[in-house]
Amino acid sequence: MLIAFLTAHEGVEQVELTEPWQAVKDAGDEPRLISTRPGAVQAFDHLDKADTFPVDQVVADASPDDYAALVLPGGVANPDALRMDENAVAFVKAFFDAGKPVAAICHAPWALVEAGAVRGRTLTSWPSVRTDITNAGGTWVDEEAVVCTAGPNTLITSRRPDDLDAFAKAFTAEFAKAGG
């Protein structure tokens, strides 16, 4: 299965991109990096620049129909930039409209809020995103990984890099169910 990883051109938390990416590969699926601009994505280790990663496709040219699932890595700047990009928001929303699974970690639920995808859903995030989630009609919980099936699709969320193992285990299991 092709799995879309959506990031802005700058600001993704590197470990929240690389560890889920490897989990997708380990599950036998093919990750593809979708971004708001062509070229490369600049990742960060918290506030410090880290590595760059080549973009496979620009979100304006990407179709959710080509992907089985979506992963939204976090970082503070990344989801904030995504929610300001109408193509990125439409891409996220289309996964919900199509009933495809979506996984988001840390600050990434900001993109879910912007896409109108949290009302009636239970999810987790970095603690500072809690108010945005509840104001958008979601229920926030403090758990390392949450799988919510109350809605048009399965939504898998996680709080922070320390939860990456639980996050990867949860989303790869859900992606496998959706793909087969």
Q: Has 106 been annotated as catalytic?
A: yes
Alpha carbon distance 78, 11 (integer Å): 5
Catalytically annotated residue among 9, 46, 107, 148: 107
Please work out, in degrees rounded to the nearest 5, the angle formed at the alpha carbon of residue 33 by the alpha carbons of 27 and 37.
175
CB 103 within 8 A of CB 31: no
Number of H helices, E strands in the chain: 6, 12
Give the residue among 107, 122, 129 at the shortest CA–CA distance from 7: 107
CA distance 6 to 147: 20
* Cα–Cα distance for residue pair 92/86, rounded to 1 Å: 10
**CB-side exposure of 59: number of CA atoms within 13 Å?**
25
Catalytic residues: 106-107
